[in-house]
Structure 1
Amino acid sequence: TITSAATTCFWSGMGKQFPEHRINVIDTPGHVDFTIEVERSMRVLDGACMVYCAVGGVQPQSETVWRQANKYKVPRLAFVNKMDRTGANFFRVVEQMKTRLGASPVPIVIPIGAEDNFQGVVDLVEMKAIIWDEASQGMEFEYQDIPADLQELAEEWRTNMVEAAAEANEELMDEYLNTGELSKEQIVAGIRARTLACDIQPMLCGTA
């Protein structure tokens, strides 16, 4: 698109466990020639989802948009798309965000497979695998145990996530230093607080 497009959706959690939330979505142009249109939108956003290609990674126009988001202090999360494409590499994009954007990405999921073998993600908060159903194009999914070959990697990235959450405040840091762990509620609260403060950017991945 060459202009911003707006739509509205409603969300109450994957299990309908929360009160209904109204979400106003503004889809901005991705091409660098229309960066003014993106900046206009930044001024009114409560938060932004930065979408990166799992193959192409962080592009020059991504750097421009990132600087705009910094200027207006917009909290961000990142979504690595096209994990089913040839050459997809989630962790390469994580490193590119650090080196090219000066960002502090914190994966809250890691992919299960890539390219033709992309099957779902590991939820690092719940420490469960989420496997999508191909027939429903991901509309249906199920929680499973984490594949054995991903257990160690999942634990490594979970530790990274928990440490990021613990830095939200002294109380969480004390809890982490004393016990070596945080509860799910504490992780979510810590990640949320640091995201709103623009200290970190939670990262997810998939194929949309």
Structure 2
Amino acid sequence: MAKREFPLERTRNIGIMAHIDAGKTTTTERILYYTGKSYKIGEVHDGAATMDHMAQEQERGITITSAATTCIWDNHRINIIDTPGHVDFTIEVERSLRVLDGAVTVFDSVAGVEPQTETVWRQANKYKVPRMCFVNKM
């Protein structure tokens, strides 16, 4: 059996969750750029976001299915799951929460706490997922 490049104690599964248009995918794109995973920042409104790989996601500018990627930071492997924010795709968030070590909840500083953010927060409570808050669009 091959040795793991990063042992489990240095591997984290982190979800990005929030209401639609709070900036989840944009935040994820910045994480990928600043950790060196990508060489340019993909923009949602241009249809160039790495995490929105489906044609429908690129056309609509929203995340429909949870998307996972990996980056390296401080000698840790971080598996990031970018989740949808639209209420119609709430089940995608719940499916992702089952495997997370923690989550970043993104808040839109202009809109404040929105209904879907409250929903995913309750879902994270259900699965006992630790969270940190990130206030976006300031």
Instruction: Please indicate the TM-score interval, normalised by the length of the shorter structure.
Output: 0.5 to 0.7
Q: CA RMSD in A?
A: 0.5
Corresponding residue of 2:21: none
Gaps of 5+ in 2: 1-62
Distance apart, 1:57 and its partner CA = 1.1
Corresponding residue of 1:31: 86
Q: Is the counterpart of residue 53 in structure 1 residue 108 in structure 2?
A: yes
Q: Is the counterpart of residue 77 in structure 1 residue 132 in structure 2?
A: yes
Within 2, Cα distance between the matches of 1:32 and 1:49? 18
Q: How many residues align?
A: 76
Distance apart, 1:33 and its partner CA = 1.1
Q: Is the counterpart of residue 2 in structure 1 residue 57 in structure 2?
A: no
Gaps of 5+ in 1: 13-19, 84-208
Distance apart, 1:64 and its partner CA = 0.5
TM superposition outliers: structure 1 runs of 4+ over 3 Å = none
Greater helix proportion = 1
Corresponding residue of 1:106: none
Larger radius of gyration: 1
Corresponding residue of 1:154: none
Q: Is the counterpart of residue 67 in structure 1 residue 122 in structure 2?
A: yes
Within 2, Cα distance between the matches of 1:65 and 1:37? 10
Cα distance per residue 1:11-47 (max 9 Å; x no partner) = 11xxxxxxx1110000000111110010000000000
Within 1, Cα distance between the matches of 2:72 and 2:109? 27
Aligned residue identity for 1:81:
N
Within 2, Cα distance between the matches of 1:57 and 1:8? 29
Once the two structures are superposed, the pairs formed by residues 58-137 of structure 1 within 5 Å of their partners are 58-83=113-138
| 3-state SS in 2 of match to 1:2 | coil
| 3-state SS in 1 of match to 2:105 | strand
| 3-state SS in 1 of match to 2:95 | helix
Q: Per chain length, whose mean CA-contact separation is higher, i.e. which structure has more relative contact order (CA < 8 Å, sep 6+)?
A: 2
Corresponding residue of 2:73: 11
Distance apart, 1:67 and its partner CA = 0.5
| 3-state SS in 2 of match to 1:39 | helix
| 3-state SS in 1 of match to 2:77 | strand
Aligned residue identity for 1:61:
Q
Once the two structures are superposed, the pairs formed by residues 185-200 of structure 1 within 5 Å of their partners are none
